[in-house]
Copies of this chain bind each other. A is one copy, B any other.
Amino acid sequence: MTDRPHAADDSPELEDRDYVALASFRHALRHFLAFSEEAARAVGMTPQQHQAILAIRGLSPREGMTINDFAERMLLKQHTAVELVDRLEAAGLVRRARDAGDRRRALLTLTDRAGELLEALSRAHLAQIGRDAPQLIEILQRMSRKDGPARS
């Protein structure tokens, strides 16, 4: 019921530039993600498969990773992670090995092929991030410089 110039709290109205900044940020993210998706598909992987082997390589490159830890890192439900691992295994990118100490656990490790493909993808991604980072950083700083919305 309060009149429009102010929201319920005392924060100032959002201005056009706030929406422009948020929209630019999302556009930049979509652009990066589209690049990444295309790069993954170009080597025969789905985007999720690429993210999956990167998560394993980045977090547990040698000792192997349980499905639960993998699900948590990927922000997926446990059974969604199981299905993703099924597809990774079928694609020859990941191996399941039962943990000898606790045979409920499946430890995930990358195949050599996954390592090679991931290395090429990672080089391409680092190069792309080198190109995109300045703009992303600029937008992030523009949005977070002030903790309220836009001023002057």
Q: Mark A21-54, 1 if CB is under 8 A from B, else 0.
A: 0111111011101100000000000000001001
In the assembled complex, A141 has its CB within 8 A of some CB on chain B? yes
- 18 extra interface residue pairs, beta carbon distance < 8 Å, beyond A18-B126, A27-B73, A137-B140: A7-B119, A14-B119, A19-B57, A22-B54, A22-B125, A22-B126, A23-B55, A23-B57, A23-B59, A25-B129, A26-B55, A30-B74, A30-B75, A126-B143, A129-B144, A130-B144, A133-B141, A133-B143
In the assembled complex, A101 has its CB within 8 A of some CB on chain B? no
In the assembled complex, A123 has its CB within 8 A of some CB on chain B? yes
Q: Flag if A31 contacts B75 (CB, 8 Å).
A: yes
In the assembled complex, A2 has its CB within 8 A of some CB on chain B? no
Majority secondary structure, A binding face: helix
Contacting residues of chain A (3-29) with chain B, CB-CB under 8 angstroms: 7, 11, 14, 16, 18-20, 22-27, 29
Q: Mark A115-152, 1 if CB is under 8 A from B, else 0.
A: 00011001101110110011011001101100101000
